[in-house]
Structure 1
Amino acid sequence: MSGNSDPLSPRAKLAVTAGKAVAAASRAAGRGSGSVIGGRVALKLDPDLLARLAQSLDVVLVSATNGKTTTTRLIAEALGAAGPVVSNALGANMPAGITSALAGGSEARYGVIEVDEKYLAGVARDTDPKCIALLNLSRDQLDRAAETRMLAENWREGLAGSKAVVVANADDPLVVWAASSSPNVIWVAAGQMWKDDAWSCPSCGGVMQRPGDDWFCGECGFRRPTPSWALSGDHVLDPHGSAWPIHLQLPGRANKANAASSAAVAAVFGVPPQVALERMYQVQAVAGRYDVVQFQQRDLRLLLAKNPAGWLETFSLIDPPPTPVILSVNARGADGTDTSWLWDVDYTRLSGHPICVVGDRKLDLAVRLEVANQHFQVCDNLDQAVQQCPPGRIEVIANYTAFQDLRRRVGN
């Protein structure tokens, strides 16, 4: 690590310049934002670049299986009240994408960084964060992600020596287990609809007891910590017991939970809850999620759901029947190629909605809906599915690459 007053050595500056050039070339060739390839080139030229770029920033890391892109955006918006922010707002959340994002923020005071769960410990080591937000852990990308208990263990070991303030969801036993090794934790009661990944105690393997919103292990005594922040209906309760109204343009209970965690993070940096929550109102959509777009004389609302926990939360916010629903599932590399998770989703919640099914794995989804006794049509593509629906609102729910396909098709 160089001791210059300018944190970037000539080599680091060269790496940043080269990375930006490669990213620009990639964009010009129509291959996406270029942030990942640019970051890879920059890190090849200076393997310490991420640490050097983070040196001049107060860094917040955000990790979870669900909600990290949205929460990163909400925190970035809130911290903007205290100074300029740089963030990987488009969700390139592995070291290369993070390096690219930080390289673009030379004037920033804060770095608000979404981190893929598997990379959290390494990125925390490199960036020396002031704060780490941990929202949830659930099954995702079954073919390549570690089983959730192993991820929690990885977080627990990786964060054990961290000086960061950890803002963690008290309602997710796996997150609590992971965060408990940290000396400085702020617990948030953010809720947890999906509970099927935490029926056994992460500490001893015993059976978890879950009376009401509480949870504890009857065998070793591992239990839900007392939260200092909480989501209560449409309000955030702060540690002094004051209730602050949440006004969001983003729909659903999950986003209120994200806002509660974000307010707790903002407070670590001295931004009061009222100011933080008012700034969060500016966010209308996050990387296309929740956008309503006009397509073939219909209003399509684009919703991302990539694992059972995400689908459960998404079903809770769609308009009631008979609003049509289009479901699209792919199983490409970025999605995970194993679609067995479809069997963990309760598709009976769609009863009464006309359903159209598209995407690479539409037949896997069709079998699952058949078993759930749902009425549906399998369609060749989005255009055909939209034609089956009457004019008006359509809810479109897709997993990761299917969502990108949809955005390209509707010009979003």
Structure 2
Amino acid sequence: MAGNQEPLSPRARLAVTAGKAAAAVSRAAGRGSGSVIGGRVALRLDPDLLAQLAHHLDVVLVSATNGKTTTTRLIAEALRANGGVVSNALGANMPAGITSALAGGSDARYGVIEVDEKYLDAVARDVTPKAIALLNLSRDQLDRAAETRMLAERWREGLSGTKAVVIANADDPLVVWAASSAPNVVWVAAGQEWKDDAWSCPACGGVMQRPDDDWFCGECGFRRPTPSWALSGDEVLDPHGSAWPIKLQLPGRANKANATTSAAVAAAFGVAPQVALERMHSVTAVAGRYDVVNYRGREVRLLLAKNPAGWLETFSLIDAPPAPVILSVNARGADGTDTSWLWDVDYSRLAGHPICVIGDRKLDLAVRLEVAGVDFQVCESAAEAVSACPPGRIEAIANYTAFQDLRRVVGN
């Protein structure tokens, strides 16, 4: 059981102080929260700092291509039923950002940490987690991320022999392949709408068979494990067969799946499903995602979609036409500079909606919409796009840096 933090070494204390100072300078200069640069400075001064900061915590790591920020927030809310929580709630999910987050958690009992999928094994070595939640793996940031099969293999190697309980999505073959090397796995039937990255068997390369909600490889026998937790409509089914209502203010099936995984994680720390799910109801938005803001006489709902799987889930949140939609895509460093993924998204699902296109790569997106046969207009700014829409509700969908740009414009 985690306890009070042991005194940090003089070197670690210096590193924390220097990191906080660097973060403060960054904030004063208007360059964001400063968590990343603060963590980098601290780790440069003490490379072992992350392990020291996490030593007194019961740590949960959350990793996936989509949904990890929201799931991290839901788990944190659930575990607060048992004690204080420190978390990288704003999504700075590489070692520097994680270090900054933990530096402020000396009185916490739990550390609930979102981890970029490429850094999962390294962070797990440093913080010795009690639990690891794995949600999904799909293509993302094609110019710099490893191919999904390679990421699954890296996870598989890193999880081999781990002492953590691994809570993993039984419906994603890549996640199952990765998690199967761990000695203690809790399987969750969380669903998988995007299947294009798991059509071949990760074990042998054979073609995956997908009858109904099942999946298996007809060549090597690799198959979906039997889950002990499941999402069933608006309820979570626990290992005892009891059904618990999901109480969320966040929209969509994907967030119900996130809540199901979060309930399974909370149960591993002794928080009952009913208590965990009731506490999750307090979450109305996550780092601005799903917020509805008033701007120029319209209600703009802010939705984040960073890759094909994320766009597919986001489209399911949008009501039938004629609700107007603003689409914004950038290709900066944090987004990945390769926009070829746009051609994997089925934009025909937006047919009938008035569409405005903005962002650094608005012309790339315009070409994709033109080929999809969807009507749209290109705008030079978010303000112009909002003004082009009639009064009422607007759905604004953006990838990572475009989402941050949009939040700054509309004042959230």
- The answer to whether TM tops 0.5 is yes
Residues 1:49 and 2:49 aligned together: yes
- Structure 1 Cα separation of the partners of residues 5 and 283 of structure 2: 36
Q: Within 5 Å, give how 1:131-142 maps onto structure 2.
A: 131-142=131-142
> How many aligned residue pairs are there?
409
Retained in 2: the 8 A contact 1:143–1:336?
yes
Retained in 1: the 8 A contact 2:5–2:56?
no
The Cα of 1:161 is off from its aligned counterpart by: 2.0
**C-alpha offsets along residues 166-219 of structure 1, whole Å, 9 cap, x if unaligned?**
000000000000000000000000000000000000000000001111000000
Aligned to 1:30: 30
Aligned to 1:128: 128
The Cα of 1:316 is off from its aligned counterpart by: 0.3
Aligned to 1:308: 308
SS in 1 for 2:15: helix
The Cα of 1:314 is off from its aligned counterpart by: 0.3
Q: Within 5 Å, give how 1:247-326 maps onto structure 2.
A: 247-326=247-326
Aligned to 1:156: 156
- Structure 1 Cα separation of the partners of residues 259 and 147 of structure 2: 28
Retained in 2: the 8 A contact 1:328–1:397?
yes
Aligned to 1:362: 362
- Structure 1 Cα separation of the partners of residues 53 and 14 of structure 2: 13
- Structure 2 Cα separation of the partners of residues 265 and 94 of structure 1: 21
RMSD (Å) for aligned C-alpha atoms: 0.9
Q: Within 5 Å, give how 1:13-412 maps onto structure 2.
A: 13-412=13-412
- Structure 1 Cα separation of the partners of residues 5 and 121 of structure 2: 28
Retained in 2: the 8 A contact 1:331–1:338?
yes
- Structure 2 Cα separation of the partners of residues 28 and 332 of structure 1: 23
- Structure 1 Cα separation of the partners of residues 284 and 326 of structure 2: 22
SS in 2 for 1:409: helix
- Structure 2 Cα separation of the partners of residues 304 and 188 of structure 1: 25
- Structure 1 Cα separation of the partners of residues 148 and 237 of structure 2: 29
Structure 2 residue identity aligned to 1:98:
I
The Cα of 1:119 is off from its aligned counterpart by: 0.2
TM-score by length of 2: 0.98
The Cα of 1:22 is off from its aligned counterpart by: 1.1
- Structure 2 Cα separation of the partners of residues 266 and 240 of structure 1: 15
Structure 1 residue identity aligned to 2:264:
A
The Cα of 1:18 is off from its aligned counterpart by: 1.1
The Cα of 1:6 is off from its aligned counterpart by: 2.5
- Structure 1 Cα separation of the partners of residues 26 and 306 of structure 2: 27
SS in 2 for 1:81: coil
SS in 1 for 2:290: coil
- Structure 2 Cα separation of the partners of residues 96 and 324 of structure 1: 39
**C-alpha offsets along residues 23-55 of structure 1, whole Å, 9 cap, x if unaligned?**
111111111001011111111111100001110
SS in 2 for 1:332: coil
The Cα of 1:279 is off from its aligned counterpart by: 0.4
- Structure 2 Cα separation of the partners of residues 332 and 148 of structure 1: 21
- Structure 1 Cα separation of the partners of residues 342 and 26 of structure 2: 35
**C-alpha offsets along residues 371-396 of structure 1, whole Å, 9 cap, x if unaligned?**
11101111111111111111000000
Retained in 2: the 8 A contact 1:7–1:52?
no
SS in 2 for 1:278: helix
**C-alpha offsets along residues 229-279 of structure 1, whole Å, 9 cap, x if unaligned?**
000000000000000000111000000000000000000000000000000
- Structure 2 Cα separation of the partners of residues 284 and 246 of structure 1: 14
Retained in 2: the 8 A contact 1:7–1:56?
no
- Structure 1 Cα separation of the partners of residues 259 and 114 of structure 2: 15
The alpha-carbon distance between structure 1 residues 5 and 150, as it changes in their structure 2 partners (threshold 3 A), is: closer
TM-score by length of 1: 0.98
- Structure 2 Cα separation of the partners of residues 98 and 385 of structure 1: 36
The Cα of 1:228 is off from its aligned counterpart by: 0.1
SS in 2 for 1:363: helix
Please list every run of 5 or more consecutive structure 1 residues that lacks an aligned counterpart in the other structure: none
Structure 1 residue identity aligned to 2:120:
L
The Cα of 1:318 is off from its aligned counterpart by: 1.1
**C-alpha offsets along residues 138-173 of structure 1, whole Å, 9 cap, x if unaligned?**
000000000000000000001112100000000000
SS in 2 for 1:53: helix
Structure 2 residue identity aligned to 1:296:
R
Retained in 2: the 8 A contact 1:59–1:111?
yes
- Structure 1 Cα separation of the partners of residues 168 and 96 of structure 2: 26
